[in-house]
Amino acid sequence: MSQVSRVLVAGAGIGGLCAALALAKQGMKAVVLEQAEQLGEVGAGLQISPNAFKVLRQLGLESELTPFAFVPQQAVIRDYKTGEYYFRSALGSAAEARYGAPYWHLHRADLHQVLVNACVRCGVELMLNAEVSSYEENVLLNQVAVLLKDGREFVADVLVGADGLHSKVREQMLGKERPTFMGQVAWRGVIPVNDLKVNIKPDACVWAGPGRHFVSYFLRGGHYVNFVAVEERSDWQSESWREEGDVEELKRAFTGWHPEVSDLLTSATSTFLWALNGRDELPTWHKGRVVLLGDACHPMLPFMAQGAAMAIEDAYVLARCLCAYSLTDAFMHYEQVRKPRATKVQKMSKTNAGLYHMHGGLLGKMKLKALQAAGRFAPDVIQSKLDGVYGYSVLHNR
């Protein structure tokens, strides 16, 4: 039924590579256009929850990723000063039993390299120095032509815009519009465990504090600790997510926090700093022979750790739809399946920002205390909210 045999994918990030791999496994020719001179990812961690893991497993990547994984035992929220636990949710074997797939921590670069290797094995063509400038549809030939900045042109049946927050594809489809700065910046970095001066628990840990929060978890079998530190600020202009940050400024921002945070940061020697941006819900994710996925259409705040997961889900659903339906129906079905899901997770992430940053002063602290009480006396109610995210499977939701 598919009218698609050749697909251009703009962007070789996690979402773009997953889309290319899923398309290739459905028998389509995928060509990835990446503007960078070489493939690679800045060092940072990813939380791969069961909903995303099911896709990676379906794509045949589980065994190749296993040596790089760390399996956290709990997801927790703790007080920035006292260390008091406001929330605990069992992960490890409990998550695998509940959701049918594990909860992993991976280094972004490891997942990226495994995806690159899998794409090459499946015949995906990876084009570097290929910055998309514009596209043009040819209705008579039922094709879309993509023009690169250097003048080269590529033609295919479909163009997938997986080119991130500042997507050129989205810009041409829906008009130029700057993303909305969410009033928060984030530092991120990776520290070898051998360099630490403090013992870190094997958890996915959020430290909640006034106007900021701190996340830490292990990577690469426990040999590294990844951190993400978020601070509310109004004075940030840079839109880069690869800008080197000032480690001393980071340490000052979290002075007076619990020793597990402050002592961990004494071992940090470098960090990247980026502004957290978002967009309003788009009126459509597709037009003609062009379609969007991941941050190009639904950028996520990191407060549910679902940005990469949503892009991975998008990629699999899009490939399946392009295989199963005519082009018009494929795009419509893809958006009908994915848009409500992504929008819901976006809203959950935004809500968590207020919780993690104790918005409302004493009221914010009371909300965390209420979460703590609910965990003791009505744990199933709390768990059910996570079930809707982690228990979801694009393999069964059609």
Identify whether 253 is part of a domain: no
pLDDT of residue 177: 86
Q: Do 61 and 69 meet the contact criterion of CB atoms below 8 Å apart?
A: no
Beta-strand pair 153-156/286-287? unpaired
pLDDT value of position 334: 98
Q: Which stretch of DSSP H or E encloses residue 10?
A: strand 6-10
H or E element in which residue 138 lies: strand 132-138
Rounded (5°) CA angle 108-274-72? 40
pLDDT for the residue numbered 242:
59
Tell me, yes or no, whether 331 lies in a domain. yes
Structural domain includes residue 236:
no
- pLDDT tens-place string over residues 45-56: 999 999 999 999
DSSP 3-state of 75: strand
Q: Is residue 131 part of a domain?
A: yes
Alpha-carbon 259 to chain mean position: 29
Domain that residue 75 falls in: 6-178+279-390
Question: Cα separation of 375 and 77, whole Å?
Answer: 11
Q: Which two tokens stand for residue 150?
A: 């250097």
Output the domain CATH number for residue 384. 3.50.50.60
**Banded model confidence at residue 359, pLDDT cuts 50, 70, 90:** confident
- Residue 222 falls inside a structural domain: no
**Distance, CA of 330 to CA of 334 (rounded, Å):** 6
pLDDT at position 299: 94
Annotation marks residue 217 as catalytic: yes
Confidence category of residue 277, pLDDT binned at 50, 70, 90: confident
**Sequential DSSP letters for 301-314:** -GGGS-HHHHHHHH
How many Å apart are CA 275 and CA 186, to the nearest integer?
A: 6
Confidence grade of residue 376 (pLDDT, cut at 50, 70, 90): confident
**Residue 227 falls within a domain, yes or no?**
no
Question: What's the one-letter identity of residue 188?
Answer: R
Q: What is the mean pLDDT of residues 34-50?
A: 85
Q: Quick check: helix, strand or coil at residue 351?
A: helix
Integer Cα distance of 31 and 109 in angstroms: 21
DSSP class of residue 81 equals T
- Residue 282: name the closest of 179, 158, 174, 180 by CA: 174
- In the block, tokens 């896709």 appear at 55
- Amino acid letter, residue 183: G
Q: Say if CB 157 and CB 143 are below 8 A apart.
A: yes
Is residue 364's pLDDT more than 80? no
Q: Output the CA torsion sign for 243, 248, 249, 252.
A: positive
Quick check: 278 pLDDT over 90? Answer: no
Bridge-partner residues for 191, per DSSP?
Answer: 225
The DSSP code for 42 is -
| Total number of residues shown for the chain | 398
DSSP secondary structure code for residue 182 in this structure: E
Residues 86, 99, 217, 316: which is the catalytic one? 217
Rounded mean pLDDT, 35-41 = 82
- In terms of C-beta density within 10 A (0-12 exposed, 13-18 middle, 19 or more buried), how is residue 208 classed? buried
Q: How many domains does the chain have?
A: 1
Q: Return the bridge partners of 188, or none.
A: 228, 272
What mean pLDDT do residues 52-78 have?
A: 96
233 pLDDT tier (thresholds 50, 70, 90)? confident
H helix intervals, the chain: 14-25, 50-58, 62-65, 92-99, 108-121, 168-174, 247-253, 259-265, 307-324, 327-356, 362-377, 379-390
User: Is 129 within the bounds of a domain?
Assistant: yes
pLDDT for 236 equals: 59
Amino acid at 348: M
Residue 254 located in a structural domain: no
